Amino acid sequence: MVRIIRETVVGGATTRGIEPMDCVTVSASAPVVSEVPAYSQVNETPAFSQVDETPSVKERFSGLFTNRERDEDVPAPSGLLSAFGSMTDSIGMRKPLFADCWTVGTGGGLKVLETYDMPGGRVTIGVADDGEIEYNLIPREYSYGPELTDVIGKTVEAVRDEYRKTGGRMDRQSVLLSARESICRTWPESDDVNWSLNDLCEAVHRYVLGLGIFDILLSDPRIEDIYVDAPCDRNRIHITMNTIEGFTSHVRCRTNLIAENGEIRNLISRLKKDTGLPYCESSPVLETDMDDGRARATVVGYPMSPNGDSVAIRKHSVNPWTLTRLIANGTIDADTAGLLSFLVDNRSSIMVCGARGAGKSSLMSALMFEFPLAQRILTIEDTMELPARAMRDLGYKVQTMLIDDRMSGDAKSRADDALRVSLRLGESAIVLGEVRGDEARTLYQSMRTGKAGSSIMGTMHGDSARSVYERVVHDMGISPEAFMATDFLVTLGMVKERGGFAMNRTLTEMVSTTDTPGEFADVLGDGLFESPAIRRIMDVSGLTPQDMRDEISIRGQMRGMLAEMSATRGEDLLGPRWIVMANDHLANMLAAGERDSARIVESFRRRVSETAGV
């Protein structure tokens, strides 16, 4: 016989659970589980919380239950409790009653590639029996025993009730304070809860004011993208990771997480509240920055998504991208990094091309740190991916211009207006997060007439310089002669390892425009000095071809050395402050008349060692 024991409302969504227990579990004994092949889909929500209440099961586990009607506890043998918990953890779907996201298993059946702990839980990454890579997350609050789980549930309700009754400001600090006071009142004085108090308060914050499971996923620095397909309660959450042990680039993974509608609606409510943007049937797309600008969310709802709300979250890198970091992960080599550094320092106009996810924004961010500190920089973007804040912290002069849906007009006209304003803000390097439409015409007109400033950089979708040229000239109506104002085009691509899961980002092409419209020269081969931009740099700087080769080589060796040293001395050496130091060191050595490449690089190595204390 199957019976629903309790139904309650948590976070605005109906959740059915077992009255005596604080964690809902679907075990192998429940008939419904056999209807969920590989846990890729789930049945209706009520099935999750159904328990096979045959006499044998009830008698066997009666010690685990608390008879709340009689207000007395029935003691449970610790060995039996451990065995029951182990069984349900390994084969069941479970969640605390205060949460709106299910976990499927604990990763025990995975061929483990890596495990690590985060403040919010424990992660196991491995290959499942069906060949997929799985990111198996057990949130910390899901692994607590019944007592602590009950404390969190009661505290969540107590904090909500307090704010319903008294009102007042509801922010992170006030919620944490209220949670701490409530837990201390609830927990028996004879027991020591200090060892877990901070974790308990953080868990309460996640389910009162936070984003639930999304808070934990967003806190993992390895995750780049988070995807929830509709219907959310029938599909696992999927992610993209930037590093997994044994892989050189990013990998797409499924998770062991299935979000209920309540979890997704909570996320959408927070986005609407924080931005004031509409989201309804007449406006079923919501795009905005979130997590204090550290991520970009796109939500699609009915009727555009007929099966319900779907979510895509693109995280921005916690650590700013630099050319040394791109060398370390295999995207570019040291020689290419040296050339790119030289071109940016000499005010070249560069277009970075590639498909979505190829790393265009990452390379653009890395190139920005190659500007001299004295260079004023204007950025124009619709999502705050470029490292303006990190650059200002290092002493760069950066003015950010953000265009989003709160401005009038469509996306193309807003970008064009922002570019026109930027051209009136004085001599500056201009960096466009993405070149799409009308702003391209304004941009190229300004570049041809010399009004655009000292340097122009931007990103554009396209898998080669030729495809970008065709798009700009034929689709956007820019003349071939105007397009030639772009000095260099760098293309990034995704290469899949044969028989593997990883998609490696790599630089696939780097060319320059030539004197003939529509023709390009490979600057990574023998075509460097065919570039009009290179000839212009030599005329302005007085460098000979050999001088230029030497400086490019020195810049490449410095960045390669930093990437190599980071493997043994810490990833801090991949950060932007070392790039600033490298450029400063090179400028000082050249100004002092030093031309020997080996001495310049070795003196920089000593400076790094002294500064880093190694």
Residue 354 sits at the vertex; the CA angle it makes with 460 and 367, to the nearest 5 degrees, is: 75
- With 80 as the cut, is the pLDDT of residue 18 above it? no
Could you tell me which residue, 183 or 613, shows the higher pLDDT? 183
Residue with tokens 């890198």: 317
Condensed to tens digits (0 to 9), the pLDDT of residues 83-109 reads: 444 444 444 788 999 999 999 977 788
Q: How many residues are there in the chain?
A: 614
- Paired tokens of 198: 């901070």
Contacts of 158 (CB under 8 A, 6+ apart): 178, 182, 186
Helical pair 172-186 and 197-208, crossing angle rounded to 10 deg:
120
CA atoms of 503 and 251, how far apart (whole Å): 6
Backbone angles phi, psi at 250, to 5 degrees: -85, 150
Co-location of 592 and 528 in the same domain: yes
Residue 523 forms part of a structural domain? yes
- With 60 as the cut, is the pLDDT of residue 178 above it? yes
Burial class (CB in 10 A: 0-12, 13-18, 19+), 529: middle
Backbone angles phi, psi at 42, to 5 degrees: -130, 160
Three-state secondary structure call for residue 332 = coil
Q: Taking residues 449-478, report their average pLDDT.
A: 82
Residue 347 forms part of a structural domain? yes
Residue with tokens 């702990």: 117
Residue 225 forms part of a structural domain? yes
Co-location of 290 and 348 in the same domain: no
- With 80 as the cut, is the pLDDT of residue 449 above it? no
Cβ pair 79, 34 in contact under 8 A: no
Co-location of 346 and 419 in the same domain: yes
Co-location of 311 and 336 in the same domain: no
Instruction: Report the CATH number at residue 216.
Output: 3.30.450.380
Co-location of 282 and 379 in the same domain: no
Co-location of 357 and 449 in the same domain: yes
What pLDDT, on a 0 to 100 scale, did the predictor assign at position 186?
A: 72
Model-wide pTM > 0.85: no
Co-location of 311 and 327 in the same domain: no
Confidence class for position 410, pLDDT limits 50, 70, 90 = low
- With 90 as the cut, is the pLDDT of residue 569 above it? no
Q: What is the pairing mode between strands 397-402 and 238-241?
A: unpaired
Three-state secondary structure call for residue 113 = strand
DSSP letter string, 212-276: THHHHHHH-TTEEEEEEPSSGGGS--EEEES--TT-SSBEEEEESEEE-HHHHHHHHHHHHHHH-
Burial class (CB in 10 A: 0-12, 13-18, 19+), 408: exposed
What pLDDT, on a 0 to 100 scale, did the predictor assign at position 342?
A: 96
Residue 58 forms part of a structural domain? no
Helical pair 146-166 and 172-186, crossing angle rounded to 10 deg:
120
CA atoms of 546 and 200, how far apart (whole Å): 64
Residue 540 forms part of a structural domain? yes
CA atoms of 407 and 503, how far apart (whole Å): 37
Confidence class for position 195, pLDDT limits 50, 70, 90 = low
Confidence class for position 357, pLDDT limits 50, 70, 90 = confident
What pLDDT, on a 0 to 100 scale, did the predictor assign at position 356?
A: 81
Look at residues 447, 379, 386 and name the one whose alpha carbon lies nearest to residue 418.
379
Condensed to tens digits (0 to 9), the pLDDT of residues 533-551 reads: 999 999 999 999 999 999 9
Q: Which range, 111-120, 240-249, 383-392, 422-431, has the best average confidence (pLDDT)?
A: 111-120
Co-location of 308 and 330 in the same domain: no
Residue 141 forms part of a structural domain? no
What pLDDT, on a 0 to 100 scale, did the predictor assign at position 6?
A: 34
The kind and range of the H/E element at 310 are strand 310-315
Find the domain containing 589 and state its range.
Answer: 323-599
Q: Which range, 84-88, 158-162, 187-191, 594-598, has the best average confidence (pLDDT)?
A: 594-598
Confidence class for position 607, pLDDT limits 50, 70, 90 = very high
Co-location of 466 and 329 in the same domain: yes
Co-location of 308 and 451 in the same domain: no
Strand pairing partners for 258?
102
CA atoms of 597 and 134, how far apart (whole Å): 47
Contacts of 242 (CB under 8 A, 6+ apart): 222, 223, 224, 249, 250, 329
CA atoms of 105 and 25, how far apart (whole Å): 10
Could you tell me which residue, 219 or 498, shows the higher pLDDT? 219
Residue 449 forms part of a structural domain? yes
Confidence class for position 247, pLDDT limits 50, 70, 90 = low
CA atoms within 13 A on the CB side of 30: 24
Residue 114 forms part of a structural domain? no
Co-location of 384 and 421 in the same domain: yes
- With 50 as the cut, is the pLDDT of residue 3 above it? no
Give the residue from 315, 331, 362 where a domain finishes.
Answer: 315
Co-location of 387 and 495 in the same domain: yes
What pLDDT, on a 0 to 100 scale, did the predictor assign at position 60?
A: 30
Give the residue from 315, 343, 373 where a domain finishes.
Answer: 315
CA atoms of 34 and 29, how far apart (whole Å): 9
- What's the number of domains the chain is made of? 2
What pLDDT, on a 0 to 100 scale, did the predictor assign at position 464?
A: 93
Instruction: Report the CATH number at residue 420.
Output: 3.40.50.300
- Upstream peptide bond of 303 is cis (omega within 30 degrees of 0): yes
Please give the share of the chain, as a percent, with pLDDT higher than 70: 75
Give the residue from 315, 337, 352 where a domain finishes.
Answer: 315
Kindly state the DSSP code that residue 528 receives in the 8-state scheme. G
